[in-house]
């Protein structure tokens, strides 16, 4: 089974921090976003904080995988095949 695909496991503390920062920023609330936009936002947030709380910022491919793991986001594909992410609306 050397060629078996890795399964999506539990979210790590870094991944949880990335998702929480994306949700706190409001990205994906009004219009869909790409993973590269979220990575740029994470870099800007790290520069603004300056306290080193946000380490190990992922690249866009890793962030796509993390957003797939997270149950708080909906994924759609653009006409060119790019993943577009939106925040799921909470049911009450």
Please give the domain boundaries of the chain with CATH numbers for all domains: 13-87 (1.10.10)
Give 75's pLDDT tier (boundaries 50, 70, 90). very high
Instruction: Report, as an integer, the average pLDDT of 12-19.
Output: 89
> Tell me, what's the pLDDT at 1?
53
Asked whether the beta carbons of 57 and 18 are under 8 A apart, the reply is: yes
Q: 2-6, 15-19, 70-74, 75-79: which has the minimum mean pLDDT?
A: 2-6
To the nearest whole number, what is the mean pLDDT of the chain? 84
Instruction: Report, as an integer, the average pLDDT of 51-63.
Output: 81
Among residues 44, 39, 43, which one has the least CA distance to residue 66? 39
Query: How far is residue 51's CA from residue 31's CA, in Å, rounded to a whole number?
Result: 30
Q: What is the pTM of this model?
A: 0.79
**Alpha helices of the chain — where are they, by DSSP H?**
13-25, 35-49, 60-69
Query: How far is residue 75's CA from residue 77's CA, in Å, rounded to a whole number?
Result: 7
């Amino acid at each position: 089974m050397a060629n078996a695909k890795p399964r999506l496991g539990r979210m790590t503390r870094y991944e949880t921090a990335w998702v929480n920062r994306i949700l706190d920023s409001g990205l994906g609330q009004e219009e869909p976003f790409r993973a590269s936009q979220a990575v740029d936002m994470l870099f800007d947030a790290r520069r603004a904080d300056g306290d080193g709380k946000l380490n190990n910022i992922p690249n866009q491919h890793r962030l796509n995988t993390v957003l797939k793991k997270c149950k708080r986001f909906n994924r759609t594909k653009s006409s060119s095949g790019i993943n577009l992410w939106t925040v799921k609306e909470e049911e009450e």
